């Protein structure tokens, strides 16, 4: 079970994030309890079948729930400050306080269920429309929905140049296919960590001006696909979002997020400037002064804050997120396709010209920013920090 995952060293962990582990209803009858214990054993077995590393935070969460479920509240002595791994595990367990064993079992089962279902969304191999032809995405057609999964979980779904192109292609196909609407989501614990900063390190022989110009063209085409997408476009934000994965949210028709998600656009920190039409959409969605705080001053929003400011449609508890969201979307997938598409187009049409203009301006500015000393220094600093770890 979880213990086997936890043999992997856990270098940097944020335990505070999941103190919010939702407590689900408790089974009260003997029959229910028996079922829960059987489910608990099954969940431990299922966990071993996970193909991808679910990330440190999730592993700690599993560890803590398992300890709480089997031994009750944390009663072990606190490890020393320098014993990082055991300290992180102890903190995780201890943060569950006096959560009952039954509640811990229930949350553990839910969490494993969500991990398994997010990893294996394809029930029928025949329903995979185009998954195999993408290196960085997984595309699944089911329930009248085209589901585009960002699929570089080990890099927090950072978007490489190839991935920009592949997302564009997947959107082109989704626009034409039989689906009622399209969903963008991420595999793993992150929705997306934004532009892959390695995009700036591959300087072509023609020089960095060419790199900046090509990147701006790719970005402009990428964002253009979202502006022109003819059917409802829904984001299922399965974890933290950074940079462009936040700014394009203003171009989606609905955004559902787990309460574990955060929204961060550290552009000025990186010597850059906003994209994804956020210079146009964010002030309109959240008001000018909040947009300024977010886009200029790197203000990180929690999911509930982002929802309060209008960027999200709804926030769900992490433990039930996948189940609740996909059930709801499955029902929406039964609605008449053309009616939804025409209604979306009516809502979006008036803004389209302005959005394309904003996209062009933002990409022009970024072309200049990417060549600036401010930006270069910030990128070098990111990779230097990494190298020191």
Where on the chain is the footprint of ligand COA (CB under 6 A)? 12, 155-156, 158, 193-198, 242-243, 266-267, 270, 272, 386
Min dist CB 356 to ligand COA, Å, is: 22
Closest residue to ligand COA: CB criterion: 243
How is residue 195 annotated by DSSP? B
Which lies closer to ligand COA via its Cβ, residue 129 or residue 272? 272
Report the alpha-carbon distance of residue 64 to residue 67 in Å, rounded: 5
Sorted by sequence, the CB contacts under 8 Å of residue 309 that are 6+ apart come out as 285, 286, 287, 290, 301
Which lies closer to ligand COA via its Cβ, residue 146 or residue 272? 272
Min dist CB 11 to ligand COA, Å, is: 8
Which lies closer to ligand COA via its Cβ, residue 131 or residue 188? 188
Min dist CB 242 to ligand COA, Å, is: 5
Min dist CB 73 to ligand COA, Å, is: 28
Total residues belonging to the chain: 389
Which lies closer to ligand COA via its Cβ, residue 334 or residue 377? 377
Task: Please name the helix (run of DSSP H) or strand (run of DSSP E) that holds residue 211, with its range, or none.
Answer: helix 208-228
How is residue 335 annotated by DSSP? S
Question: From residue 158, how far is each of 277, 334, 341 by CA, in Å?
Answer: 19, 33, 30
Which lies closer to ligand COA via its Cβ, residue 98 or residue 384? 384
Which of 314, 148, 320 lies closest to 245, judged by CA?
148
Which lies closer to ligand COA via its Cβ, residue 46 or residue 214? 214
Min dist CB 386 to ligand COA, Å, is: 5
Min dist CB 355 to ligand COA, Å, is: 20
Query: What strand order describes the sheet that includes 262-264?
Result: 241-242, 262-264, 301-302
- Tell me how crowded residue 115 is: count the other CB atoms within 10 A of its CB: 22
Min dist CB 366 to ligand COA, Å, is: 10
Task: Please name the helix (run of DSSP H) or strand (run of DSSP E) that holds residue 138, with its range, or none.
Answer: strand 137-142
| Burial (CB count <10 Å: 0-12, 13-18, 19+), residue 219 | buried
Q: Are 238 and 321 in contact (CB under 8 A)?
A: yes
Min dist CB 47 to ligand COA, Å, is: 21
Structure tokens at 72: 């009750």
Which lies closer to ligand COA via its Cβ, residue 12 or residue 77? 12
- Tell me how crowded residue 206 is: count the other CB atoms within 10 A of its CB: 10
Which lies closer to ligand COA via its Cβ, residue 122 or residue 300? 300
Task: Please name the helix (run of DSSP H) or strand (run of DSSP E) that holds residue 254, with its range, or none.
Answer: strand 254-258
């Amino acid at each position: 079970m979880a213990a086997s995952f936890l043999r992997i060293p856990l270098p940097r962990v944020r335990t505070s994030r999941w103190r919010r582990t939702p407590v689900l209803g408790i089974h009260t009858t003997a029959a229910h309890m028996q079922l829960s214990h059987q489910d608990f054993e099954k969940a431990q077995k299922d966990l071993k079948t996970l193909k991808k590393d679910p990330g440190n935070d999730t592993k700690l969460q599993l560890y803590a729930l398992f300890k709480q479920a089997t031994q009750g509240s944390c009663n072990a002595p606190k490890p020393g400050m320098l014993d990082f791994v055991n300290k992180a595990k102890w903190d995780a367990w201890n943060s569950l306080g006096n959560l009952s064993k039954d509640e811990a079992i229930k949350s553990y089962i839910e969490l494993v269920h969500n991990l398994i279902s997010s990893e294996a969304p394809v029930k029928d191999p025949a329903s995979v429309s185009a998954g195999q032809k993408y290196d960085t995405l997984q595309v699944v057609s089911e329930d009248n929905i085209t589901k585009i999964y960002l699929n570089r979980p080990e890099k927090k779904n950072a978007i490489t140049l190839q991935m920009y192109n592949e997302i564009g292609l997947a959107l082109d196909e989704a626009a034409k296919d039989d689906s009622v609407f399209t969903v963008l989501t991420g595999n793993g614990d992150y929705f997306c960590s934004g532009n892959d900063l390695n995009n700036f390190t591959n300087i072509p022989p023609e020089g960095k001006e060419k790199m900046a110009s090509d990147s701006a063209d790719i970005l402009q085409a990428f964002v253009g696909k979202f502006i022109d997408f003819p059917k409802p476009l829904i984001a299922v934000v399965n974890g933290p979002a950074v940079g462009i994965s936040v700014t394009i949210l203003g171009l989606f028709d609905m955004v559902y997020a787990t309460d574990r998600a955060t929204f961060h656009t550290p552009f000025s920190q990186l010597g850059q400037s906003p994209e994804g039409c956020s210079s146009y959409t964010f002030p309109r969605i959240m008001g000018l002064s909040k947009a300024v705080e977010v886009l200029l001053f790197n203000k990180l929003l929690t999911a509930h804050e982002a929802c309060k400011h209008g960027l999200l449609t709804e926030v769900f508890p992490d433990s039930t997120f996948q189940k609740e969201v996909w059930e709801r979307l499955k029902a929406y997938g039964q609605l008449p396709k053309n009616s939804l598409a025409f209604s979306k187009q009516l809502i979006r049409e008036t803004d389209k010209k302005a959005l394309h203009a904003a996209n062009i301006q933002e990409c022009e500015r970024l072309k200049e920013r990417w060549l600036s000393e401010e930006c270069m220094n910030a990128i070098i600093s990111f990779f230097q920090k990494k190298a020191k770890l």
